[in-house]
């Protein structure tokens, strides 16, 4: 790959091009739909092993592609010899960062830590690359007595009753990837704008690049990284949580889990503060970002888009009156999609609609155990004549056949199937997760004025879902109204070409402001 300076460098943590999924597809679309924009890719992973395969062919406008693996970065063998002021700066900054992690203010301590890591004197060093000779390296943080003193002081102040060995390793493993990101930041390809597709380590890298290179930073969040990590941490077995003797239930997660949660919170806030613009998929996410410290004025909602024309053709091609009332499910058979609730709802609905048919169209190989359980459930509920597993299907063949699309997920961001179904003229019954409320009811006054395009139900409630399905299947006029509203909504607000244009405008605006920032003294 030629190492020309790119227009946009995407910071991708655990996603494109090595992992498939909603985010990766989105990234791929952005790149392919803007062939005149030169993209660089910076992938961030945990480890090189097991070896990852490229899941996408990189389009021609990708001019650079780098990967960094946080746990595989080589550690320097010896700590750098720091002078007194250097030591003071570094460890003072680290101590302040820990205070910030606790209290909330981020920008100041963050920059102090960068300066401390740079090792350079005083203010204004935007480019520590030149001064790396006297810069601390990662080994300092693993070997210096001051690092130990800081660690034990924080321990004594904050959690003297915790298992020390767990605290020690938590401390190290929290810091290590952060330092690796900072140290590896100089290998990130040069670009006029940096666009990170999550907070977390990619967001942190973005914040570091913003500080060091002075180029604008854009942040797009599909899911809210910090919240996802909090859920994982709460469930994690490998984080030691001392059992409180004598208490039946106790508040909070245990100190170490709190520590991890706060660490990710800190990284998130660092990214929010550093970003020049933040986008996300729907309002619910926007509110959550604000809760996590994002300045509201920076946030725009830019949803995902679909090819409305193509899918609109399916609406025209609908079979006028299908033989049986048919409900469709399009998606992977995995627990988060909660297909079992749909199956149970089917059992209830069949009492009212005896010839009901439910088509489950989605790959069955992602979680074979769960697929097996679903099929067993169908058998045990004696729904063999009603529920059919189609496997992975081309959606063009599914939407024309179904009267209603059902979505029973317990967690979603912005499900593309709802957009597709609406473009294809199919009304929707969906659980109230993620953006579903906005998609089915409208976002903003104008959008809401278009009318509802589906029915919302509670999660894991087969009765309510069955009720909604039956209601729709018995009422063709209602279905037609909902479908019309859905078509209008999708056409106006979720057209992929419009979405791409909005991102293009975002890029253009910030690329144009970049030369001014560049002149302020950063080097690419």
Minimum distance from residue 43 beta carbon to other proteins (Å): 17
Indicate whether 173 belongs to the interface with other proteins (CB under 8 A): yes
Nearer to other proteins, 144 or 357 (CB): 144
Among 168, 293, 318, 395, indicate the residue that binds other proteins (CB under 8 A).
168
Closest-CA residue to 406 (of 337, 351, 493):
337
Asked whether the beta carbons of 250 and 229 are under 8 A apart, the reply is no
Minimum distance from residue 90 beta carbon to other proteins (Å): 16
Asked whether the beta carbons of 424 and 355 are under 8 A apart, the reply is no
Among 81, 148, 382, 512, indicate the residue that binds other proteins (CB under 8 A).
148
> How many residues contact other proteins, by CB under 8 A?
28
Stretch near other proteins under the rule CB under 8 A, chosen from 66-74, 338-346, 388-396, 433-441: 66-74
Name which of residues 20 to 49 contact other proteins (CB under 8 A). Answer: 47, 49
Among 156, 237, 297, 394, indicate the residue that binds other proteins (CB under 8 A).
156
Asked whether the beta carbons of 282 and 220 are under 8 A apart, the reply is no
- Alpha carbons 313 and 298: distance in angstroms, whole number: 37
Q: Give the torsion through C-alpha atoms of 343, 347, 352, 353, to 10 deg.
A: 60
- Alpha carbons 407 and 453: distance in angstroms, whole number: 14
- Alpha carbons 107 and 271: distance in angstroms, whole number: 10
Nearer to other proteins, 94 or 433 (CB): 94
Among 51, 165, 369, 449, indicate the residue that binds other proteins (CB under 8 A).
165
Find the helix or strand (DSSP H, E) in which 118 lies: helix 107-118
Indicate whether 60 belongs to the interface with other proteins (CB under 8 A): no
Among 19, 58, 96, 176, indicate the residue that binds other proteins (CB under 8 A).
176
CA angle 282, 260, 221 (to 5 degrees): 20
Q: Quick check: helix, strand or coil at residue 367?
A: coil
Indicate whether 81 belongs to the interface with other proteins (CB under 8 A): no
Name which of residues 221 to 280 contact other proteins (CB under 8 A). Answer: 238, 240
Here the tokens at position 486 are: 């859905």
Stretch near other proteins under the rule CB under 8 A, chosen from 11-19, 127-135, 152-160, 250-258: 152-160
- Alpha carbons 203 and 12: distance in angstroms, whole number: 9
Nearer to other proteins, 47 or 322 (CB): 47
Among 76, 85, 160, 385, indicate the residue that binds other proteins (CB under 8 A).
160
C-alpha distances out from residue 151 to 171, 182, 259, 283, Å: 8, 20, 13, 40
Among 32, 155, 293, 491, indicate the residue that binds other proteins (CB under 8 A).
155
Minimum distance from residue 341 beta carbon to other proteins (Å): 34
Q: Quick check: helix, strand or coil at residue 43?
A: strand
Nearer to other proteins, 161 or 252 (CB): 161
Indicate whether 153 belongs to the interface with other proteins (CB under 8 A): no
Residues 6+ apart with CB under 8 A from 393: 330, 361, 362
List contacts with other proteins (CB under 8 A).
47, 49, 71-73, 75, 142-143, 145, 147-148, 152, 155-156, 160-166, 168-169, 172-173, 176, 238, 240
């Amino acid at each position: 790959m030629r190492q020309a300076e790119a227009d946009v460098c995407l910071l991708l943590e655990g996603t494109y091009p090595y992992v498939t999924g909603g985010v990766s597809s989105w990234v791929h679309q952005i790149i392919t739909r803007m062939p005149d924009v030169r993209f660089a890719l910076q992938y961030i992973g945990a480890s090189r092993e097991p070896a990852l395969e490229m899941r996408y062919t990189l389009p021609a406008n990708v001019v650079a592609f780098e990967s960094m693996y946080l746990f595989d970065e080589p550690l320097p063998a010896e700590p750098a010899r720091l002078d007194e002021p250097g030591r003071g700066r570094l460890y003072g900054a680290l101590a302040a960062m820990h205070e910030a992690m606790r209290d909330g203010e981020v920008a100041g301590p963050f920059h102090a830590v960068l300066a401390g890591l740079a090792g350079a004197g005083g203010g204004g060093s935007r480019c520590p690359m030149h001064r790396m000779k006297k810069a601390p390296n990662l080994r300092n943080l693993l070997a210096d007595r001051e690092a130990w003193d800081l660690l034990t002081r924080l321990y004594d102040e904050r959690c003297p009753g915790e298992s020390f060995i767990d605290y020690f390793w938590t401390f190290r493993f929290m810091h290590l990837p952060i330092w690796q990101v900072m140290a590896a930041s100089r290998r990130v390809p040069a670009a006029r704008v940096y666009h990170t597709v999550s907070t977390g380590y990619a967001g942190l890298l973005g914040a570091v690049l913003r500080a060091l290179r002075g180029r604008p930073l854009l942040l797009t969040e599909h899911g809210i990284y910090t919240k996802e990590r909090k859920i994982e941490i709460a469930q994690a077995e490998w984080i030691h949580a001392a059992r409180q003797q004598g208490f039946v239930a106790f508040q909070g997660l245990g100190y170490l889990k709190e520590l991890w949660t706060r660490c990710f919170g800190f990284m998130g806030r660092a990214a929010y503060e550093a970003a020049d613009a933040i986008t996300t998929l729907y309002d619910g996410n926007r509110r959550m970002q604000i809760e996590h410290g994002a300045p509201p004025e920076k946030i725009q909602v830019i949803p995902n888009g679909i090819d409305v024309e193509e899918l609109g053709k399916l609406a025209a091609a609908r079979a006028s009156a299908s033989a049986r009332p048919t409900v469709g499910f399009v998606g992977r058979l995995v627990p988060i999609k909660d297909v079992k609730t749909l199956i149970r709802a089917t059992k209830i609905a069949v009492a009212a609609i005896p010839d009901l048919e439910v088509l489950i169209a989605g790959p069955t190989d992602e979680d074979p155990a769960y697929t097996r359980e679903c099929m067993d459930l169908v058998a045990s509920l004696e729904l063999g004549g009603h529920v059919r597993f189609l496997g992975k299907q081309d959606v063009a063949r599914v939407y024309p056949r179904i009267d209603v699309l059902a979505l029973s997920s317990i967690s979603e961001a912005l499900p593309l199937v709802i957009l597709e179904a609406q473009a294809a003229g199919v009304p929707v019954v969906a659980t109230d997760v993620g953006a579903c409320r906005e998609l089915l009811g409208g976002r903003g006054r104008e959008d809401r004025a278009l009318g509802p395009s589906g029915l919302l139900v509670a999660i894991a409630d087969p009765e309510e879902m069955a009720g909604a399905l039956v209601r729709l299947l018995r009422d063709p006029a209602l279905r037609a109204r909902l479908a019309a509203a859905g078509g209008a909504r999708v056409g106006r607000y979720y057209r992929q070409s419009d979405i791409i244009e909005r991102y293009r405008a975002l890029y253009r605006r910030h690329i144009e402001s970049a030369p001014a920032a560049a002149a302020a003294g950063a080097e690419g």
